[in-house]
Structure formats: structure tokens, C-alpha cells
Amino acid sequence: MRWTLAAWLAILLLLPCHLAGASSGSSSSSRLRLFTDERRVELREQVRELFQHGYDGYMKYAYPADELRPVTCGPLHRDPTNVNFGINDIHPNASITLLDVLSSLPLVLPSEFPDAVRRVATEVSFDQDVKVQVFEMTIRALGSLLSTYQYLDRLPDEPVAQARALGLTGKAKAAKKGKGVDVKQYRGRLLEMALDLGKRLLPAFNTVTGLPYARVNLRKGLDKGESVETCTAGAGSLVLEFAVLSRLTGDERFEVSEARGGSCDSQSAGELSLSHSPEQALAQRAYLAIWNRRSTHNLVGNTIGVTHGHWLAPGLTGVGAGIDSYFEYGIKAAILLDDDVYLDIFQDTYAAIQTHVRTPDGFIYRPIQFRLLQPGLPSTIDSLSAFLPGMQVLAGDIESAIRSHLVWWNLWRKYDALPETWIWQERKIEWAGWPGRPEFIESTYYLYQATRDPFYLRVGERVLNDLRRRTKTKCGFATLKNVETGELEDRMESFMLSETLKYLFLLFDPAPATPPTNRVFTTEGHGLSLPFSKLQKTSATRRAMHRGEDLFCPAYEPPTLGGLVVGIERRLDYEYARSLVFGWGVDGRVIEDKESVQWWEGGFCSLPLAPTFSFDIVLTPLNATDQEVPPEDPAPSASKVRRDDATGDFVVADVSGLRLSVRWRLDNRGYDVASIGPHRVRPGQQVFVTDQKMEGYLPIPANPPATLHAPPEVLLRFSTISSKGERAVFLHAAASTATFGKSFGSAGSAGFGIGGLGMLIRPKVNVDGCRAFKPGEIPEVRGVLVLDRGECPFLTKTLHAKMAGMDGVLLVGLAPTPPELLVQDPSTPGVAAGSGSGSQTEGLIRPSADGEPEELLHRVSELGVVYVEHIVGQVVLRMMDVERKAVAVEMMLLEAEPAREDLKPGGGGDGRDKAREGRVMVNDWEIWNLRVRERPP
Ligand SMILES: *[C@@H]1O[C@H](CO)[C@@H](O)[C@H](O)[C@H]1NC(C)=O
Ligand SMILES: *[C@@H]1O[C@H](CO)[C@@H](O)[C@H](O)[C@H]1NC(C)=O
């Protein structure tokens, strides 16, 4: 990645790379701990027991009340003052806890299911004089009723066969409870109840904007003078439940069934609207009403007035409370309904988040002013936004999911729970409560499904233990009022069972993941699906567009270090994420006794930098002079750009003034063009530029250099060594290994150190090692010689180190080019196609000795050779020369697993015809779906 000198200095100032006196703990290495199926089942059964405990407590002490008081063991009722929204919004006086857990019972506690479904069907009524939240009723009650209906619908008709399907077959008492009970008889009643509840929510939609009021009285409809304020998530995430309700009942008021508006070929820039009357398709209208009020950067605000549709103060956007499920329902609606309208909107919203809300390192998603794009200072991240990694997995962006999840994981490690809000710049809690929210464990579940890395099972085990230890009471699970003191609040929200424990159960359940279908969990964890007969017909154009790429599931590539496959905990940025939460200082050690995680005393001297996610470029012919640069053409004619109906690809005959929006590919291999002017380019579609003006420049770098991102990085840690032999880590840094010398981590190699004990030795003269060392120039001890890059070949330096009796060589890169010479700002890539490459920064390179005689290479085959960037060398040499400390270096232990073959650059090369073609690079990354060609394919 690119660094200017100024940026390096800023990092030096920000990161206390010199940490005085941090005495090191034992650096025991935690090898890749395996997680057996037996262990998983054991943990799953522990979760089941907890679930039973909470369920029994609710049924015994609280039912038919909406919630249980887990500390005093009694029912929690609505607050008669009517202003306590925190309770009353979710208390319809309809046994909401039972309703919410109902859909989980067949999976987690099947023996309780027959009784529970009978009670819901016969004892619960929504005819209540209570004001509740439309969103909460939709996700907790409506979603569960529909999900349970669909479950019952799939059951066999015969009661005995039903019991078998529920797993109630043994001799146990529990099994007897459910035997011979016909549970399927209630399915009609559940759908009826769902429709009844849905209708009671409809008065909320009585606005010209289509945005629903946040609250409604279930019996009396809208209150006079009801608050017009609602949030984006509340108004915009009703689509899944309303769609299933609509398509199962044929009632078009909720979503829509047949003649649907919002065309599939709709364009990203246009207004989306429906051809329906205002009384129809209400959830879809509300979703689009939010989207149509987005900013020019495709961002939406948090709070909006339903009558006029104005965004309300303070005008922040982000991914947390108030917005969260709006994004989630975009991708989930695209999956459930198989609908490109939602997919297109989701991809635009997601690109906006990745571009503006995510920090440049790619880890933190913080609130920003949605028009000014300024982050708040100080600003917080909240526990609700821990849903994000799960959504990123669904979107196919596993790399981003891993990174964002690591932040919440470290927060969990730090507090043994997740504080509701946390000030990320100051690394301190703002709001210390944890009501048992599920989002973090839900994301852990998705990430485990996507990566199969046992790390996520260990995360789940930790959550399970903390949850039991800190929140379990004699009749249920309490809310943590303060994650630091452990003080309890007498409340158990329904999602503690229906989501938190359910996702933990799913995480440990070794049953294979369900095959990818149009089935999703709602934001409250209720499974919904739609049979093909209920989906919209796919048009021929859409089918043509969908050839080529799998939209949702790029294969996961596990991290490698030095060519070896390793787990998430061995990623270079794992320690970086830890330091974001724990800091680089002494407080980083508070977790020392709890876990055998090592290496966290030192500062980290190579910040990750995620590539800019999306940006626009306006194309200009390469030979245009400044005066001739054509203006942007917002509505290019078909003679400039057209879509080839046969192939679905785009052909650009004239580049002048075309605006391309370019987006990061979710498989992390570079960029794709996402739109050309008003035309949306979908994954799998290619863009061919055949403009004659480009021809003289072909091929534009023929193929990306294969080694561009090749240096296999390893993690080094540097410690000072006192006269008593005590080590104190002061720095972590990324390094690359050389193509010659010792082969690190290969099977049978003894140890993974660079060489010997890793003591660093710096020559006083001949610092680049380009001539042989004379006796007395360096001490006669074994160690790792620190040499500057330059003046002679890497192999020469290494041979001289070998002749001087050294075990290894640490090569230090050259100082970066002064900032004024680095003209390229990643946010404004070159304006002309093909001008985007040519980085001048050093970064990590991979020392090689190509073409050198085999015999010479053999002589240094036992020496470890690694390369670090200039800045790292400066910090280390300062410690040795100025602080006069003895310094040793260690390399992160690598697990000796077979290496995977590196990703081969795909695309192109299909040999369809022999036209010369070129690829376009932006900041070292290729735009994969863009080709400049002599003639159309
Ligand atoms: C709750 O529902 C029950 C039964 O339907 C009813 O008797 C009771 O009055 C309701 N309570 C409130 C506060 O509406
Ligand atoms: C740029 O190239 C095109 C096509 O080769 C040519 O027609 C045009 O005159 C050139 N413009 C300049 C400024 O050289």
C-alpha cells in the first residue's frame, strides 16, 4: 500500500512504538487448536440447557405476560405511564416472549413445541388497546408467526410422522409430550393471526410519503398527534415479513404479488417508483421512500419525519442503531425474493458504507454526517452494528466481514460482553449496558459458515461461558446494566432466547449448512423462505445478465503466511484489531491471564490500508490536451455506448466524457466497473472499449505483473533483552521473506526463527554489507545481521553475512520517496484510462537472487533472509543505537499445513479471437471487467 513520508511520521507519532518497561509474559504459542465434533455437540447441548432454563422460567413465572423479570422471577408488564417506550414498544400484551421463541422451538426444544403452538393459537390475541412499535411487532411477532406457519406447512399430515420429524421418538418423557399431537392443525390459525396483526399495523402507513409512523395502537389505529419521527431501520425493514405475508395470503396491501412495479432494468440514478395505488405494496413503498431520499453519495440519514419525508437532526449516518436493518433487508430481500431491484439498491448502499463510513484501515464503521461526510468527534460504535459482519458474509464480502468482526471480538474480550456504545477514538465505554443482544454471535455464526475456521467456534465458546457466568439467574437471563461491574437489570428481552441462544445453538450444531436457497433469517432470527411458485418470473434480459458470476458466494481463501495456510488468529491484522480496542499500551495486558494470546505488548508499525472501495472516473482520450478535455456526457447516445443484446456485454465506441463508477470486487481481486453513465453493469458483464483513439496505446499494460502483491508477509516481533535476560516486546512489524535462503516453516525445518536466537547485530561500518566484513568489524557472536538495502545484490550481502558467521539477515528498505514526488492520491485515480498505475513507494518487496549461480544460492540455504520497510528498521536501530539496548527478533510461528496454490488471475485469455487487448489498472489493481480492444469481440 501507499505511504507518504508525512503519513509515516504521523503513524510514528500516533503509535507509541517504544513502550518502556512492558515486561513480557511467557510467549507460549497457541497452536491451531482443533475443535472436535464431539466438543461442538457438547457445547450445543449446553446451549440447549440454557435455552430450556430461560424458557421454563418465562412459562412458569411470567406467561402470559410479555416478558419475564429474571431477577425477581415474576412477570414484567407494560408501564402504565405510557412514556416508557423501552418497554411498551415491544409489549403488545400478547405473550411476546412466547411468540418470539416459537419459531426456534422445533429446532432447539422440540418437546415444548406442541404445547407452545397450541397456546399461541388459542390464547394469544392482538385485539389489545396498546400502542406498540410497528417495526418491533413485525420482526418479533409477525416474523415468528410466518416462520412457524411455514414450518408447520412442511410437516407431514400424520401426527406420528410429525412427532418423528420433530425428533420426539424416544422413550423419554419429553418425547411422550409431543406424541400423537397434531401440531399442523394450527397452521391456518397462525396465518390468520399473522394477517390479523398485519392489518392492525396498516393504519401506520397512512402518510403521503409512504413512510410509516413508528407506532400504532393495535385496536384503535393511529393516535391523534402521534409523533412523526421515525428511523430508517424502522420504516425500511419491513419488507421480508410483509412480502411473505402478502405472497402467502394474496393480500397486496403489504407487499405485492402479481403486477409489480419497479422494473428490473431500473437504473441506479433514477427514481424508483411503483405503479400501484398508495394502498398497495406498503412495505416496498416505505423501503423505496427511504432510498429515494438518499444523498448524492448514496447515504441515508438516521431519523426522518414521516409526513414530509425530511431528514431530521443530527443528520448522521452509519451502520448502527436506527439504520442497521435497512441495509440487511436490502440484501436479504434480494435473496428471498430473487429481486434485482433490491440487489441494485443494496449494492449502492453497501458501496457507500464501504467508501465513506468505514475507516481507511478497513476495520471500524463509524457514524458520519451524511451530507458533509465528516465523522463525529468523539463518535461511538454500538453493539447493534455487530450485525454487519453477518450481512457482509451474505453479500459475499468475507474479507471485510472478518475484519469488522475482529473489532467486536476484541470488545467482547475486553468487557466479557458488548457495551451498548463505545467511543472508539478514546477506547472507552459510553453506555455500559448489554441486554443480551444477539448481533455479535449471529455474525460469528455466519462467519463460521463461510470460513469453517475453528476460531469462530472458540469465540462462541467464550460468549457462551460469559453469558452463563454473568447473566444467568435462578429463573432466566438478566440484562447486564453495566458490563464492567456486572450489575444486573431485572429484564430479559425476548431476543435473548429467540436469537442469542438460537444462533449459539446453530453455531455449534455440526449439521451441514443448508444449501443456498432463497431462504433467510429475518433480523429477529426467524427463518423465512418462498417457494418458486411465489417468486416473480425472471425476464429474458435478466437471465442474460445473470450469466457468468455467482453473485453471493466467492470461495473463501484462508490466510497464508510465508506460503502456509493459517487460521484467522494468524492473520497479520489480527493483532492490529486487538490494539484498536486494547490500545498499544499497558492496558493491552489486562487480558493476559485469561487467554494464551501472545504478542500484544508491542506497537504495530505497519497499518493496514483498505483499498478505496468505490470512486468515479471520467474517461478522456489518452492524447487529449488540457484544452480539449471533453465535458462529462450524462446521457451518452447508443453510438457511444451500447449493450450487446446477444452477450449482455457493453461496448464503448467513444470514451469522451463517459463517467464510469468503479467498485471494489467482493472477492478482493481488484475493481469492476459498476456503471457507465446511466447504465448499470452487473457482476459478470464485461465492458469493451473499442474507441479508435485508444488503439495506438495497445496493449495497455498487457497483464498485471503477477508479483504485484506477492511478497508473502510474515509477522516479526522485536524485543529488548535486559542484562538478566528478560525480554520486553516493543514492536510488531510485517516483513517479507526472500526467494532464497532458509525455507521458513517447511516441513521438518527446525524452528521458525530467522536464525539462531535472533539477536540483532548491526555493523558500525559497511552497513549495506556490500563488501566482506573484516575481522573485528562485527562481534564474533552468532546472530541476525541488520543490513541496509542497496548498492549491491541481495545475495552478495547475504554471502558476506554467511562468511561473517551470521545466522540470518534482516534487510532494511530504503527511505520512501519524499511526499511531493508522490502525486497519486488514491481517491482521485488517473482520469485517462490506463494512466492509473506506477506507484513510486517502496512498501514490502521480496528480495530475490534470480539468475545467480546455484552453487552460491546453496551456500546461504541455511540463512534466514527477511525484508522490512525502512520505518521498521529506523525504530529498531534507534532502540539499538540510541537506547543502547540488546534487541532480538522472532518470527510468528507458522503452522505447517500444505500451502494452497495462489489465485491465478482469471478472466481474459479465453482465446475467442486474436484482437489485441489491454487491461486497465487503478493504483496497482486491475479493473477486471474492462478491456480495451482493437475491435468489438
Ligand atoms: C391484556 O390482555 C388480557 C387478556 O386479553 C386482558 O384481560 C387485559 O386487560 C390486557 N391488559 C392490558 C393492559 O391491556
Ligand atoms: C488523438 O487521436 C485521434 C485518433 O488517433 C486523432 O483523430 C486526434 O486528432 C488526436 N488528437 C490529438 C490532439 O492528437
Tell me the ligand closest to 219's alpha carbon: 1
Rounded to the nearest angstrom, the distance between the alpha carbon of 659 and the centre of ligand 2 is 21
Q: Are 98 and 119 in contact, with CB atoms under 8 Å apart?
A: yes
What atom in ligand 2 is closest to the CA of residue 628? 13
- Position 663 scores a pLDDT of 93
Residue to mutate (ligand 1; options 67, 78, 87, 93; most atoms within 8 A of CB): 93
pLDDT tens, position by position, 321-335: 999 999 999 999 998
Burial of 377 from C-beta contacts in 10 A (0-12 / 13-18 / 19+): exposed
DSSP code string of 409-439: HHHHHHHTS--SEEETTTTEEEE--B----H
SS3 688: strand
Contact 284, 333 (CB under 8 A): no
Fold of 713-899: Glucose Oxidase; domain 1 (3.50.30)
Give me the pLDDT at residue 694, please: 75
Phi–psi pair at 795, nearest 5 degrees: -65, -35
Q: Which of 151, 152, 309, 140 is nearest to 230 (CA)?
A: 309
Q: How confident is the model at residue 700 (pLDDT cuts 50, 70, 90)?
A: low
Least confident of 3-7, 100-104, 276-280: 3-7
Mean pLDDT is lowest, of 21-35, 428-442, 628-642, for: 21-35
Structural domain spans, the chain: 92-227, 614-707+902-933, 713-899
Which numbered ligand comes closest to the C-alpha of 694? 2
The residue whose C-alpha atom lies closest to atom 6 belonging to ligand 2 is 693
Residue 630 pLDDT class (50, 70, 90 cuts): confident
Nearest Cα to Cα of residue 794 among 758, 740, 752, 844: 740
**Residue among 465, 461, 480 nearest 70 (CA):** 480
> For residue 556, which amino acid is it?
Y
- Tell me if 236 sits within 8 A of 329, measured CB to CB: yes
For the cut 90, the answer to whether the pLDDT of residue 176 exceeds it is no
Judge if the beta carbon of residue 95 lies within 6 A of ligand 1: no
Task: Look at 455 and 862; give whichever has higher pLDDT.
Answer: 455
* Closest CA relative to residue 349, chosen from 210, 231, 232: 232
Determine the distance separating the centroid of ligand 1 and the alpha carbon of 479, expressed in angstroms.
26
Which grid coordinates are listed for 343? 440487489
Q: How confident is the model at residue 923 (pLDDT cuts 50, 70, 90)?
A: low
**Number of CB atoms found within 10 A of residue 75's CB:** 15
Q: How many CA atoms lie within 13 A of 689 on its CB side?
A: 32
Could you tell me the pLDDT band of residue 907, with boundaries at 50, 70 and 90?
very low
| Predicted confidence band of residue 698 (pLDDT cuts 50, 70, 90) | low
Query: Can you give the pLDDT at residue 828?
Result: 34
d(C-alpha 719, C-alpha 24), whole Å: 9
Reported as a single tens digit per residue, the pLDDT across 202-260 is 999 999 999 999 999 999 999 999 999 999 999 999 999 999 999 999 999 999 744 44
- 658, 656, 661: which is closest to 624 by C-alpha? 656
CA distance linking residue 685 with residue 664, whole number of Å: 15
Orientation of helix 398-415 relative to helix 574-582, angle to 10°: 40
pLDDT score at 552:
46
Taking the CA of 622 as reference, the closest ligand is 2
Name the residue at shortest CA distance from atom 5 of ligand 1: 125
Residue closest via CA to ligand 1's atom 3 equals 93
Asked which of 17-31, 647-661, 840-854 is least confident by mean pLDDT, the reply is 17-31
Residues 6 or more apart whose CB falls under 8 angstroms from that of 216 comprise 131, 132, 134, 200, 201, 203, 204, 222, 226
Residue 844's pLDDT is: 76
- The 8 Å CB, 24+ separation contacts for 392-397 are 393/443, 393/446, 393/447, 393/449, 393/450, 394/331, 394/332, 394/335, 394/446, 394/520, 394/552, 395/331, 395/346, 395/350, 395/552, 395/666, 396/551, 396/552, 396/553, 396/554, 396/666, 396/667, 397/350, 397/666
Give, for ligand 2, the residue of 654, 655, 693, 698 to mutate: max count of ligand atoms closer than 8 Å to Cβ.
693
* pLDDT surpassing 80 at residue 756: no
DSSP conformation letters of 695-744:
GGGPSSSSS--TTTT---EEEEEEEEE-TT--EEEEEEEEEEE-SSS--T
- What angle do helix axes 870-881 and 5-14 make, rounded to 10 degrees? 50
C-alpha to C-alpha distances, 79 to 126, 130, 131, 494, 768, nearest whole angstrom: 18, 11, 11, 17, 76
Q: Which ligand is nearest to the CA of 623?
A: 2
CA angle 637, 643, 644 (to 5 degrees): 130
- Quote the percentage of the chain above a pLDDT of 70: 79
- Check: CB of residue 423 under 8 Å from CB of residue 380: yes
Query: What is the predicted pLDDT for the residue at 697?
Result: 60
Confidence tier at 272 by pLDDT (50, 70, 90) = low
pLDDT above 50 (res 187): yes
Confidence of residue 936 (pLDDT cuts 50, 70, 90): confident
Q: Ligand 1 centre from 478 Cα, in Å?
A: 25
Q: Please provide the DSSP assignment of 36-72 as one string.
A: -HHHHHHHHHHHHHHHHHHHHHHHHHTTTSSEEETTT
pLDDT attached to residue 538 = 67
Which are the contacts of 154, defined by CB distance < 8 A and separation ≥ 6? none
For 760, the enclosing helix (H) or strand (E) is: strand 760-761
Q: Whose CA is nearest to atom 12 of ligand 2?
A: 623
pLDDT in tens, 362-395: 999 999 998 888 887 788 999 999 999 999 999 8
Residue 850 CB less than 6 A away from ligand 1: no
Spatial contact of 24 and 719, defined as CB atoms under 8 Å apart: yes
Q: Helix or strand or coil: residue 798?
A: helix
Atom of ligand 2 at shortest range from CA of 696: 5
For range 785-789, the mean pLDDT: 95
Catalytic sites, residue numbers: 136, 324, 420, 439
Query: Which has more pLDDT, 20 or 401?
Result: 401
- Among protein residues, the one with the nearest Cα to ligand 1's atom 11 is 93
Which of 68-72, 266-270, 853-857 is predicted most confidently? Answer: 68-72
Q: Which of 122, 158, 107, 141 is nearest to 241 (CA)?
A: 141
Dist. CA 129 → ligand 1 center (Å): 8
The count of other CB atoms within 10 Å of the CB of residue 273 is 14
Burial category of 485 from C-beta neighbours within 10 Å (exposed 0-12, middle 13-18, buried 19 and up)? exposed
pLDDT at 602 over 50: yes
- What pLDDT score does 702 carry? 44
Q: Inform me whether the pLDDT recorded for 42 exceeds 60.
A: yes
Q: What is the pLDDT of residue 623?
A: 67
- The shares of helix, strand and coil residues in the chain, as percent rounded to the nearest 5, are 35, 15, 50
> Whose alpha carbon is nearest atom 2 of ligand 2?
693
622 CA → ligand 2 middle, Å: 9
Which pLDDT belongs to residue 719? Answer: 85
Instruction: At 478, list the grid cell.
Output: 438478566
Q: Indicate which residue's Cα is closest to atom 2 of ligand 1.
A: 93
d(CA 375, CA 228): 27
- Residue 741 pLDDT class (50, 70, 90 cuts): confident
In this predicted structure, the answer to whether residue 892 has a pLDDT above a threshold of 60 is yes
Which residues touch 399 (CB under 8 Å, ≥6 apart)? 668
- Beta carbon of 128 within 6 Å of any ligand 1 atom: yes
Q: Which atom of ligand 2 is nearest to the CA of 693?
A: 4
Residue bearing the CA closest to ligand 2, atom 5: 693
Average pLDDT of the chain, as a whole number:
82
User: Is 538 marked within a binding site?
Assistant: no
Cα→Cα distances 346→102, 292, 388, 400, Å: 30, 13, 13, 16
pLDDT tens by residue, 436-469: 999 999 999 999 999 989 999 999 999 999 999 9
pLDDT in tens, 608-623: 778 889 988 887 776 6
Quick check: CB of 359 below 6 Å from ligand 1? no
pLDDT at position 105 is 97
Q: How confident is the model at residue 817 (pLDDT cuts 50, 70, 90)?
A: low
Res 540: pLDDT: 62
Q: Where is average pLDDT lowest: 101-115, 551-565, 779-793, 802-816?
A: 551-565
CA of 915 to the centre of ligand 2 (A): 21
Residue 99 has a CB neighbour count (10 Å cut-off) of 28
For residue 711, which of 677, 692, 735, 683 has the smallest C-alpha distance?
Answer: 735
Amino acid type, 659: R
Which atom of ligand 2 has the smallest separation from the CA of 695?
5
What would the pLDDT profile of 133-172 be if each residue is shown by its tens digit?
999 999 999 999 999 999 999 999 999 999 999 998 877 7
Distance 136 CA to ligand 1 centre (A): 19
Burial-class residue 431 by CB neighbours within 10 Å (0-12, 13-18, 19+).
middle
Separation CA 746–CA 104 (nearest Å) = 47
Distance 618 CA to ligand 2 centre (A): 18
Q: Give percent above pLDDT 90 in the chain.
A: 51
Ligand 2 pocket residues where CB is under 6 Å: 621, 623, 625, 692-693
Ligand closest to 75 (CA) is: 1
- Residue 185 Cβ inside 6 Å of ligand 1? The answer reads no
Q: Is 541 in the pocket of ligand 1 (CB under 6 A)?
A: no
pLDDT-wise least confident of 171-180, 220-229, 744-753 = 744-753
Nearest residue by C-alpha to atom 13 in ligand 2: 624
Ligand 1 centroid distance, CA of 496 (Å): 24
217 lines ligand 1 (CB under 6 A): no
On whether the CB atoms of residues 357 and 319 are closer than 8 A, the answer is yes
Decide the pairing of beta strands 727-737 and 603-604: parallel
pLDDT at residue 484 tops 70: yes
pLDDT at 692: 83
pTM of the model: 0.82
Q: What is the structure's pLDDT at 17?
A: 24
